Amino acid sequence: MDHLDQRLLNEFQQDFPLESRPYAVLGERLGLDEDEVMDRLARLTRGGSVSRVGAVFRPHTVGGSTLAAMAVPDHRLEEVADLVNAFPEVNHNYQREHRLNLWFVVTAPSKARVAEVLAEISQSAGIEVLDLPLLEHFHIDLGFDLKWS
Amino acid sequence: MELSDRDHALVSALAEGLPLVSHPYRAVGAQLGMDEAEVIGRIQAMRDGGVIRRFGIIVRHHELGFKANAMSVWSIPDAVVSEVGRRLGDAPEVTLCYRRPPRLPDWPYNLFCMIHGRDRAAVEEIVAGLVRRFDLGAYPHAVLFSTRRFKQTGARYGRPIPRAAAAE
């Protein structure tokens, strides 16, 4: 990864150009042409550094979401994680160091669907699911400073 | 801001990310029966209206060398939790900061911060620094490092556009 990749990743996490040819606008700022910008983004996406060029939505404005936690016996962790992952509404799923060891985020077009997903997971796994919906958010999301230096 | 069916359809189409083509907004619109100006206008309005908090390149921390992430949680009295949350949310080393309900007896914590760092020691140092700086030592606290990532994708909030609306 060279210096231009690093700038590409760090400088365009917000206020992405809403213009007809946004990658050309990025290119002007970086001294690259449009194709080079798209090639770099394609390569960084393939390599996993870039998830996508897209939007982060404010929770609860375009549907429902929640954070859920389960206490899964160690020997069932993979099985239950697979069961959770199978729902397209689950977009993050992590094992964490705690008695409550499986943590996942559910997002759906409606709050009712979020509740349904939690109930289905709880029922299939036979394990209680804690529902920890967001009550207040405090962080202004400006992206993530990669602090390359 | 109230979202229309066409906004929801656009949200759904954007879940995969903007395509890497010369005119990406036009390409997204072509799937939805919208022209480029409508796509740009709707994204702009959702951004201005606060529905979209951020529009841009979404990176993956782990792949970029931020191998450690911890959910750092505190149990803070209701009277002061919002004020503490605002201060923590403004700290540059905090990636996300939310208040959520406690679930007794299993889970007493009501304030959640995500912290990313190059390794575990770096994250522990950040958390210790937050505790000192914001005087959090008296509150019950836990740090839940993630040990395995089973899934990480973009949120799927949107609804596919109804056919009739697409043809409008």
Does A148 have pLDDT greater than 70?
no
Does A1 have pLDDT greater than 90?
no
Assess contact for B110 and B81: CB atoms under 8 A: yes
For domain B5-58, the CATH class is mainly alpha
C-beta atoms of B151 and A85 within 8 A: yes
Q: What is the ipTM metric for this complex?
A: 0.78
C-beta atoms of A96 and B95 within 8 A: no
pLDDT tens digits, residue range A56-85?
888 767 778 999 999 999 999 999 999 999
* Domain at B62-145, CATH from 3.30.450.80, 3.40.1790.10, 3.30.70.3460, 3.40.50.1220: 3.30.70.3460
Name the CA dihedral angle for A120, B157, A57, B94, rounded to a multiple of 10 degrees: 20
Does B88 have pLDDT greater than 50?
yes
- Which among A42, A104, A135 has the least Cβ separation from residue B20? A42
Q: Is A35 helix (H, G, I), strand (E, B) or coil?
A: helix
Return the closest-CA partner of residue A43 out of A91, A92, A2.
A2
Return the closest-CA partner of residue A62 out of B63, B112, B5.
B5
Contact residues for B47 (Cβ-Cβ < 8 A; gap 6+): A18, B55
Mean pLDDT of B21-25: 98
Mean pLDDT of chain B: 89
C-beta atoms of A56 and B54 within 8 A: yes
Res B164: pLDDT: 36
pLDDT tens digits, residue range A18-59?
999 999 999 999 999 999 999 999 999 999 899 999 998 887
Matching fold, domains B5-58 and B62-145: no
Q: Which amino acid makes up residue A54?
A: G
pLDDT tens digits, residue range B139-160?
999 999 999 989 887 666 655 5
Per CATH, the number for A64-132 is 3.30.70.3460
Domain extents for chain A? 3-46, 64-132
Domain extents for chain B? 5-58, 62-145
pLDDT band at B61 (very low <50, low <70, confident <90, very high): confident
For chain B positions 77-106, those within 8 Å of chain A (CB to CB) are: 82, 85-86, 88-90, 92, 94-101, 103, 106
